[in-house]
Each structure stands twice: as C-alpha cells, then as structure tokens.
Amino acid sequence: MRTRKLTASLALAFLITLCGLLMPPSARQAYFALRAFNVEIASIKDASRLMGRSRAELENNAEGINNTNDASLASRLRMQWWKDGVAEVYENRRNANTNSHEAKFASDPLLRSLTSSRQQNPTMRSLSHAIHNHDLTHRFLRRMMEAREEDLAVSQYDRCTDVAQYGEDTVSSFLYLSLECVGVRDEASDLVASDIGVSLGLINALRSTAFRAMQGECSIPLDLTTKYSITMDTIWDAANAHNNEAVKEAKFVEAQESLQNAAQEMAEMASLHLHRARAKQSVVPKEARACLLPAVCGLRYLNDLKECNYDLFHPSLADGRRLRLMLLLGRAWLTGSY
C-alpha cells in the first residue's frame, strides 16, 4: 500500500509541476513560490505525526478516529512562524520606512532572530517577491494558514460539507492567488476557481485515504462512516483486499463495498462542482485559464475512480497514467478548455 501511495504521490507532484510550467512566463515564478509556501504549511501536520506506525499501535490508540488529536505545540509554533512572516511582509509594504519596523525588534534578541530567520528563508523570500510583484491579497494567504492550523487537531471531519469547506479555504484560495499572478481579479473567474477548489479538496481527501489511515486518521467524514458503518478496520480490510489471497472472503468484500459507497458519494459531490466549473469556464479570460489546469487532473481522477467502481485502493489508480494526463493537460492548455 505504501509503494502504491508513493508512486501516486510522485505522479501527482510531477503533474503539479507541469501545470506550473504551463503558466504564463510572467507568473511562473510567483506560482512556484505559492506552491512552495502551500507545501510548507501543508506538511506541518504530517511532520507532527510519527511516520510508519504499525497497525497494532494505531489500534491501541484509545482516542479512535472520531476524536480530535491535540496538535503539538511545535506544530502550532511552526504555523505561527509562517503567519508572522507573511504578516511582516505586508506590514513592511505598508510602512514607507522598513527600518523603523525592524527597529522594534532590535532590543529583543529572540524576535530579532525570528525575523532574521524568516528573511533568510528561501520560500519566504520567494513569496515576498510574489506579494510585492503581483500585489497578492493577504486575506487568501491568511485563510490558507488558518484552515491548515485548524486542521492540525482534526483526525476526522464531521460532515462532507466540512471537507468541502476545507477545500474552499485551502485549494480555492490558492487558485484565487494564482489568478492574481496573471492579473485577473473578477468575481466570475473566482466563482469558477471556487468550484474547482472545493472539488479538488474532496478529491484530495479521497486520494489520501490510505496515507491518513497509516497516520491513524480517517479522511472519510463522520456522517458517511456512520451511514455505511465504516471503521478503521473497514479501511484496513479494503486496503488489504487486493493483496489477500482470499479476496472472496466476506469481510473483505463487505469492507470494499462500504468504502466504495462512501467514496461514490464524495466523488459525486466533487464531480458536481467540477462540472459546474467546466460549464462556466468560458467566463475566465484566456490568459488566466492556465491557472485552472489542476481541474484536468481532478476530472481524470474522477473518471478513473468511476471506472474502478469507486475502489480507492484499486492498483490502476496508483499507476499515475502520466502520459495520458500530460496529453490532456497539453490539449487544455492549447485550446483553453478542459
């Protein structure tokens, strides 16, 4: 399961990089700065978990999947470091004399050290250039960080709409900023980006089912796990069904069916948003449509998942199918339509 997940993750990272390379040259550097920033804050939660814990250790966890885990102080401090760093960039922009702002920290060695570390961080420096060159909206960056910070303590969302809202706060905000990198700031384009972000948020939850299970978490929201009687054992059995010689054994078949039903509901919700965005894509200026290329990856995944009868652990979902997806991305880039 880990090998398949690693292969899929590498394929996804490759395609995300390709989407960035297809951006207009004037926006490419800012896009990758935003992407690096997003990776930094998204990895804080994963870094706070012990990687590679055994199944026995997870089963002995008395908290279960329905409770929230207390995020470590270190994780919150890391997130606060980024929040303060971004806030400093905008505060420096507002102050005509940046030296007067830095003078406030001159008497405090700790604050001076933190400020210096942020100024020398390559991701923060790149993001600062992007903010200055493209006048990026602080609200979107702040919303991304606040959503990630709240997610630190979440091991399972209560409702499917909560997963969708998390996608809006993180992925949609990233798409809004990507549009700003090419100079597009209009409500019609933002509505299309919003639908794409919500859809990709739901798809990311489906994609991460195996990884989150290894972390002792459940990416399927509580309302669906309750509806289809899904437990952590259900996820483990569904994951192991393809590797088990007794694939016809009742408990494996039942586990697969339960998880497939929940995955289908989430996929249909994602598909609704993605096809609504597809129907309105003509309102997005041509020079900005490259910002929405991740929607092509989402559509391809939903189609593949449907072909697999919504089996989240089907081997074909992990092979990447990079060549086919590269062709689809190229066609969408050339035609301006996905």
What pLDDT, in 10s, does the model give residues 186-221? Answer: 999 999 999 999 999 999 999 999 888 988 899 999
For residue 56, the model assigns a pLDDT of 42
Q: How far apart are CA 184 and CA 292, in angstroms?
A: 12
Q: How far apart are CA 114 and CA 334, in angstroms?
A: 45
Q: What string of H, E and C letters represents the secondary structure of the chain?
A: CHHHHHHHHHHHHHHHHHHHHCCCHHHHHHHHHHHHHHHHHHHHHHHCCCCCCCHHHHHCCCCCCCCCCCCCHHHHHHHHHHHHHHHHHHHHHHCCCHHHHHHCCCCCHHHHHHHHHHHHCHHHHHHHHHHHHHCCCHHHHHHHHHHHHHHCCCCCCCCHHHHHHHHHHHHHHHHHHHHHHCCCCCHHHHHHHHHHHHHHHHHHHHHCHHHHHHCCCCCCCHHHHHHCCCCHHHHHHHHHCCCCCCCCCHHHHHHHHHHHHHHHHHHHHHHHHHHHHHHCHHHCCHHHHHHHCHHHHHHHHHHHHHHCCCCCCCHHHHCCCHHHHHHHHHHHHHHCCC
For residue 105, the model assigns a pLDDT of 54
For residue 239, the model assigns a pLDDT of 85
**Of 168, 157, 169, nearest to 224 (Cα)?**
157
What domains are there in the chain, each with its CATH number?
2-50+72-335 (1.10.600.10)
Cα-Cα end-to-end distance for the chain: 31
For residue 111, the model assigns a pLDDT of 63
For residue 6, the model assigns a pLDDT of 43
Structure tokens at 229: 């009687």
Q: What is each CA distance from 181 to 12, 34, 44, in whole angstroms?
A: 22, 10, 25
Q: How far apart are CA 52 and CA 190, in angstroms?
A: 39
Amino acid symbol at 314: H
For residue 314, the model assigns a pLDDT of 87
Can you give the pTM of this predicted structure? 0.85
Low-confidence ranges of the chain (pLDDT < 70): 1-15, 48-71, 96-115, 243-248, 319-323
Torsion of CA 75, 81, 87, 88, to 10 degrees: 180
For residue 303, the model assigns a pLDDT of 93
Q: How far apart are CA 309 and CA 336, in angstroms?
A: 30
Neighbours of 47 (CB within 10 A): 11
Only one residue has tokens 């390559």, namely: 122
